[in-house]
Amino acid sequence: MKVIQISDELYNRLKNCIVDPFDDTPESVVGRLIDIVDKSKSRCSSWDAAEDTGQQNRPTTPSKPRTVQAGHDEIAL
C-alpha cells in the first residue's frame, strides 16, 4: 500500500465528496472520482478519434454570408 500526503485544504474538499460517512473512506472517494474521470474520457474518446483522423462533421461547401436589414443599412453576418 502506498501513502500519499495531501494538503489540509484538499483533504477538506475530499471530505465534501463523502456520500456515506460510515462506509466511505478517502480511498473509496478517490476511487469514485477516478471512475467518474474514466467514464468522462470514454464518452469523449469518439470525438478525440474523429479529430485525430479528420472525420469531423464539416460542411462540404462554404455557407453563403447572411445579411440582416437594420433600418436602411444591411449588416453582413
Contacts of 14 (CB under 8 A, 6+ apart): 6, 26, 29, 30
Q: What is the pLDDT of residues 14-68, one digit of tens each?
A: 888 888 888 888 888 889 999 999 998 888 776 555 565 555 555 555 555 555 5
Q: Report the predicted TM-score, pTM, of the whole model to 2 decimal places.
A: 0.49
Q: Given this model, what pLDDT does residue 69 score?
A: 56
At 74 the three-state DSSP class reads: strand
What residues does each domain of the chain span?
8-76
Burial of 55 (0-12, 13-18, 19+ CB in 10 A): exposed
Inform me whether the pLDDT recorded for 76 exceeds 60.
Answer: no
